[in-house]
Amino acid sequence: MSGRILIIDDEKDMLVLLGRIISDGTEHEPVTEASAFKALELLRERHFDLVITDLKMPKVDGIKLLEQVTKINPDISVVIMTAYATIETAVEAIQKGAYDYITKPFRRERILLTIDKAMKWQEIVKENKTLRQALAGKTNLSGLVGSTPELKEISQRIKQVAPTMATVLITGHSGTGKELIAKAIHENSLRSSKKMVTVNCAAIPEQVIESELFGHVKGAFTGAWKDKKGLVEEAHGGTLFLDEIGDLSLHMQMKILRLLQEGEHKAVGSLVTEKTDLRFIAATNQNLKTAIKEKRFREDLYYRLNVIHIELPPLNERKKDIPLLSYHFLKKFARANQKDIRTISPEAMQTILSQDFPGNVRELENIIERAVIFCRTDTLEKRDLYLDNEREPLYPDFNEDVNGLDFKTAKEKMIRKFYREYIQTLLKKSNGNVSRAAEIGGIQRQYLHRLMKETDIDAVDFRNKFEKEV
């Protein structure tokens, strides 16, 4: 992604240098300005993705400029440059919203790395904002949330199928939202004014399910003290949703087949055949063709059910929907728990996106619900997620960031990344205490200080951040 970067410094040589570095080393457009007042005017007139400003300038210093920039555009990233590096000014800049700070003189690689990180951050911030806006104005089919081609195709199919009488078979892994699809079909059908009755075929014991579905008459079996109406009769005129139909016994499959073919059923213990008007929707997480080969599922029932087939992809195959789903669940659980949580921080969203979701949408829903419960501010943070498999990576992955570099540059980048992540791990274990961190790592304190300086890690700043999280 190419963007526009505003550089502010009262030294014109520095403006020329930074403009050249950005032009030669990135795809971004540099705009330079020596006056802080004129820079603020530019920010009001044009869109910028990143501001790089000097700390010490006449009339308006970098901290005051930072405050003004965030008033104009609170989403913009600001990087402070200073030749007067002190812990106090750096911490103050970060606390007031600066993305990062760079000490002069700086290396070309340092400024390019910071720009790259800041622009990637901007992508996430923009995506978060777009998703919130999209979710606010979005109307969905019975809670179906997403914008990927797969979900759009499913939504279109639902709109086409819902007004018909066709039987629908929904397949997909557990947690992908099969019941939501069934509800969407029912709510957009001509039977929406009637009930949709859900039967979980896997949850009801085999010896009970026939009575639950078709009802029974008094005295049909031990414990049948009175006549009981079944779920099939309860769904008359509406929709019967048979969830996890692959778990039905062959005996019950035969009875369901008759219900599908003839629209007839008998209550347990009754000699009277009753007619029922139903729309059938079935769902399963099993491969029914395999079950047919293994003689666990009736082929004739399969073809009766499989008039319209909707296959739901697992969440990992539509990861672009994860941010939109996350905001949907945030809104749902914030309202349910009476919490004023409005947004998800970029760090938290990055963490969510990096997860595998064997439990699919249901697992994501549980993660967001738990995070909402633990969240103490108006922003859901990474610390609120409490992911079971969350841990700081100790060794960096060899990925596309270095694949295109020459050996020496790639090696230096990977070593620097290793140093930074390893030191951060030590500091977390020691709560920011450098001496204790050196002891844990088995290295000399002076050497750890030197590595921290080289990797731009400040112990006090780190400790402050740690204390805030705790």
pLDDT tens for 317-376 read 888 889 889 998 999 899 888 898 989 998 899 889 988 888 899 889 999 999 999 898
Q: Which residue's structure tokens are 């340092």?
A: 110
Enumerate residues 6+ apart whose C-beta is below 8 A from 146.
Answer: 152, 318, 321, 324, 325
Q: What is the CATH number of domain 4-125?
A: 3.40.50.2300
State how far the Cα of 424 lies from the Cα of 392, in Å rounded to an integer. 9
Structure tokens, 402 = 């270095």
Helix (H) or strand (E) holding 353: helix 346-353
| Full DSSP string of 9-67 | -S-HHHHHHHHHHHHHH-SSEEEEES-HHHHHHHHHHS--SEEEEESS-SSS-HHHHHH
- Listed as own residue / partner, the contacts of 112-120 with beta carbons closer than 8 Å and 24 or more positions apart are 112/21, 112/25, 112/26, 114/79, 115/5, 115/22, 115/26, 115/28, 115/50, 115/52, 115/79, 116/26, 118/50, 118/77, 118/79, 119/1, 119/3, 119/28, 119/49, 119/50, 119/77
Q: Which residue's structure tokens are 């731009």?
A: 456
> Among the CATH numbers 3.40.190.10, 2.60.40.10, 3.40.50.300, 3.40.50.2000, which is that of 149-313?
3.40.50.300
Helix (H) or strand (E) holding 365: helix 360-374
* 285 phi and psi angles, rounded to 5 deg: -100, 5
Task: Give me the helices (H) in 137-220, please.
Answer: 149-161, 178-187, 206-214
Instruction: Give the alpha-carbon dihedral of 393, 399, 405, 406, to 10 degrees.
Output: 80
Which 8-state DSSP code applies to residue 197?
Answer: E
Spatial contact of 221 and 263, defined as CB atoms under 8 Å apart = no
CATH 1.10.10 fits 400-469, yes or no: yes
User: What residue ranges of the chain are covered by domains with CATH 1.10.10?
Assistant: 400-469
User: What residue ranges of the chain are covered by domains with CATH 3.40.50.300?
Assistant: 149-313
User: What residue ranges of the chain are covered by domains with CATH 1.10.8.60?
Assistant: 316-384
User: What residue ranges of the chain are covered by domains with CATH 3.40.50.2300?
Assistant: 4-125
Confidence at residue 449, expressed as pLDDT on a 0 to 100 scale: 79
CATH 1.10.8.60 fits 316-384, yes or no: yes
Low-confidence stretches of the chain (pLDDT < 70) are 1, 84-88, 90-91, 127-143, 388-405, 459-470
Neighbours of 41 (CB within 10 A): 11
Strand partners, 200: 243
Confidence at residue 466, expressed as pLDDT on a 0 to 100 scale: 52
Confidence at residue 94, expressed as pLDDT on a 0 to 100 scale: 73
pLDDT by residue (tens digit) across 279-323? 999 999 999 999 999 999 999 999 999 989 999 999 988 888 898
Confidence at residue 199, expressed as pLDDT on a 0 to 100 scale: 92
Confidence at residue 185, expressed as pLDDT on a 0 to 100 scale: 93
Q: Is the dihedral of CA 393, 407, 100, 434 positive or negative?
A: positive
